[in-house]
Amino acid sequence: MLDRSTIKKLAAEAGFDLCGVAPCRHLDEGERRFREWLAQGRQASLSYLERNAEKRFDPRLLVEGARTAVVCAVSYKSLTSEGYPADHRAKIASYACTRDYHATIKEMLARLFGALKADRPALGGRMFVDTAPLAEKQLAVDAGLGWLGRQSLLVTPRHGTYILLGELILCDETESYDTPFDGPRCGECRNCIDACPTGAVAENRTIDARRCISCRTIERETSGTLDLDGWIFGCDSCQSCCPYNRRAPLHANPAFGPLFDPTAMTPADWLAMTEEQFTARFGHTSLTRSGLQRIQRNIGQNGRLK
């Protein structure tokens, strides 16, 4: 049997800011809400979400013998996370200014898993970093890390929403589990709903991906036009306005330091860039997910150059 306090200690040593432990179970309420969202067609071009819905909300269907979900979070908040000048027309979501988090968090999870296996060589399990059908935000609520905010993101009391998640699904139980976070704590605040430039944040704590700038600038392109409000990769509009984010500390893990300053780059700089220059400068960031050509097309949708 695993020891919960030991897991949390090792997670901190691996570089995570938060760690919670939950039993693997069917997250039935999360699945119900998710299926309702799909039925409304709000997934837009995210057709991959329509697959494996039953696995998404039950880790036991993803990992044979799964017993425990270890949910880890790390802050990436930087000065860029606090917002851009009103006239800036080449805005990038602040998480994309760092090394690609998939690689960084996978390395951190591997250190944590390796430390656990050092004492228990037969321990089975899998690591997950946003690349498999796993309802990680709901798991994080179950593990006591926070609640789902009005903008559908995980809100943590200390670090707000500027966090990235990684999970270990382990084939052993712990002697105790964390208490699920009880209820949302957004109160009467509607900042994220009011701040969304396109009205993508719904009243029922979901996102209409058809109107979401982050989806429009990164995911598979869809028909129709949308004012991107100066964003060329992702969007932080529903985060930089959140009171929890405003008082959250900057990131402590140096692995999440920005690799470039997006405020120093104009639309003209991006349009003049070659593929070789893009790869050399941004090849280790999440910007490669869309690529230079897509970023340049996004600039075209933003209109005027500065």
Annotated catalytic residues are: 130
Angle made by CA atoms 303, 77, 234, in degrees to the nearest 5: 30
Instruction: Enter the DSSP assignment of 223.
Output: S
Distant-in-sequence, close-in-space partners of 9: CB < 8 Å, separation ≥ 6: none
Tokens for 181, please give them.
Answer: 């976070």
What is the three-class DSSP state of 209?
A: coil
CB atoms within 10 A of CB 126: 18
Cα separation, 13 vs 10, whole angstroms: 5
| 280 three-state secondary structure | helix
Beta-bridge partner residues of 18: 73
Spatial distance between the Cα atoms of 1 and 267, rounded to a whole number of angstroms? 55
Label residue 251 exposed, middle or buried (CB < 10 Å: 0-12, 13-18, 19+).
buried
